[in-house]
Amino acid sequence: MYLKSLSLRQFRNYDQQCLHLSAAKTIIVGDNAQGKTNLLEAVELLSTLQSHRTNRDGDLVLNGETTGQIHGILERQMGTMELGLTLRRNGRRTVILNGQTQRRYLDLLGLLNTVRFSSTDLELVRGGPEQRRQWLDRLLTQLEPLYAHIWQQYQQVLRQRNALLKSHHANSTRPSQEELALWDAQLTATGIRVIRRRSRALARLSPLAIAWHQLISGCRETLEIRYLPNVKSETDHLEAWQQAFLVKIEERMMAEYHQHTSLVGPHRDDIEFTINNTPARQYGSQGQQRTLVLALKLAELELIEQIVRDSPLLLLDDVLAELDLKRQNQLLEAIQDRFQTLITTTHLGAFDAHWLRHSQVVTVESGRIMTDQQPLILTPNQPHHSNATKI
C-alpha cells in the first residue's frame, strides 16, 4: 500500500498543510518541537484511530480551534481510497471513507496498515507489561480489525465490574454474590476472546521474530517469545478456559475486595522475551535489547504483509539515530523499497548518501511543511514517482 498524500487542517500545530509523498522513503527533517512527530501521529490515527501520545481528541486539535481534520489518499492493490478523520475538541470524532461518513469506527480500521518504531519502543523489553500489551494489541488491531471491538467490550466489562467493586467499598458492604457472578461471567466470556487472539497473534509473530533476531545477531543468540496470560489454561477448550477463570477469580476474591479493583483477566497479561533462556528484561544488555526490538518490528512488518497481503507503512520516529550503524543498515536493507517509510530526524548527517538520493526530504518548521529541498536531493534522471511505482 502507498500513502500518496496527507492533508492536515487544524491538527496539532498545523493550521493547513498538505504533504505529497513522492518517494518510497520520505525523510522529515526539523528541529525538536516543530511538528515532525505530529505528522507520523496523523498517519497513525488514520491507521489505528489511536494515538500513542494521547487519548483525548482535544489534544489533537490546534489551539483555539474546535475541530481538526486529517485526510489521506491511499493507494492499494484494490484501488485508491480516501481516508478522513474529523476530531473535535468537544464531542465524538467522525470517520470518513471516500467522502462518506461512516457510522462505525471499525469501517476505517485495517485499510491503512502501519508499523510504528519510535525511540520509546526501545523500552518495550525493559518497560512495564502495559507497554508490551499495548504493542501486541496495536498489532492485533492491524491484523484483525474486529479485535478493536473485542478489546473495547472487555474494557467495558472491566469498567463495570470495577465500578461494582468500588461502589460497595464506598458503602463498606460486599457486592451481592449474584451480581458479582454476573460480571464474572462477562469478564470470562470477553476475556477468553482477548486471550485467544493475543495468543494466536504471538504464535504467528514468534517464528518471524526469531528468524530476524538470528539474522541480526549473527545466529549467536536464541530468542524466545512467551505469552504470559494472567489466567492460564492447560488446554484451549472453552470449558477449560471458563474453569480457569472461575478458579482464579475465586482465589483472588479477598484481594479484590480489599483493593476494590479487578485483579484477574487479560488486562494483567505480560509477554516475556528470553535470550538464551535468560529473561531479556533483566539481563539483556542495551545492545541486545535493541537487536530484539528491531527483530520484533521487522517481524511485525512481515506478519502484516503476510496476512493483509499488502505491504504496511513503516513509521520511524526519531529512532534511526538511536541505532548503531550496523543495525541501521540492517533495518534499511530489510525495508529497501518494499515498505513505504516515513522517517523523522533532526539531522541528515546520519544517513547514507546513496540512500538519501533515493528519498524525498521535507523540512518541518513550526507547523509548516517545506519540500523545497527535494530538487537538491533527487538526481535529474530520477522522476518523482519512480520509487512510488515499485511499491
Partner 1 sequence: MYTLPLARLIEQLQRLPGVGPKTAQRLALYILQRPDTEIQALAQALMDAKEKVGQCSVCFHLTADPICEICLDPTRDRHLICLVIDSRDVIALEKTREYRGLYHVLGGLISPMDGISPEQLNIQPLIQRVHRERPEEVILAISPSVEGETTTLYVGHLLKAFTRVTRIAFGLPMGGDLEYADEITLARALEGRRELD
Binding of partner 1 at residue 185 (CB under 8 A)?
Answer: yes
Furthest-apart CA atoms within the chain: distance in Å: 78
Binding of partner 1 at residue 200 (CB under 8 A)?
Answer: no
Region near partner 1 per CB under 8 A, out of 31-39, 185-193, 301-309, 357-365: 185-193
List 35, 68, 84, 145, residue binding partner 1 (CB under 8 A)? 145
Exposure of 11 in the CB half-sphere (CA atoms within 13 A): 27
Binding of partner 1 at residue 101 (CB under 8 A)?
Answer: no
Q: Which is nearer to partner 1, 11 or 154 (CB)?
A: 154
Site string for partner 1, 103-122 (x = CB under 8 A): -x-xx---------------
**Could you tell me how many residues make up the chain?**
391
Binding of partner 1 at residue 191 (CB under 8 A)?
Answer: no
Binding of partner 1 at residue 354 (CB under 8 A)?
Answer: no
CB of 163 to partner 1, least distance (A): 4
Region near partner 1 per CB under 8 A, out of 162-170, 265-273, 298-306, 365-373: 162-170
Binding of partner 1 at residue 267 (CB under 8 A)?
Answer: no
Region near partner 1 per CB under 8 A, out of 145-153, 324-332, 334-342, 376-384: 145-153
Query: CA torsion 153→155→156→158, rounded to 10°?
Result: 130
Q: Where are the beta strands (DSSP E) in the chain?
A: 2-11, 14-20, 25-29, 67-76, 79-88, 94-97, 100-102, 114-118, 223-228, 270-275, 278-279, 313-317, 341-345, 359-365, 368-370
List 18, 59, 98, 163, residue binding partner 1 (CB under 8 A)? 163
Q: What is the DSSP letter of 83?
A: E
Return the closest-CA partner of residue 289 out of 119, 116, 129: 119
Residue 305 to residue 344: CA distance in whole angstroms: 23
Residue whose cell numbers read 462518506: 100
> In the complex, which residues of this chain contact partner 1 (CB under 8 A)?
104, 106-107, 145-146, 149, 153, 156-157, 159-161, 163-164, 167, 178-179, 182-183, 185-186, 190
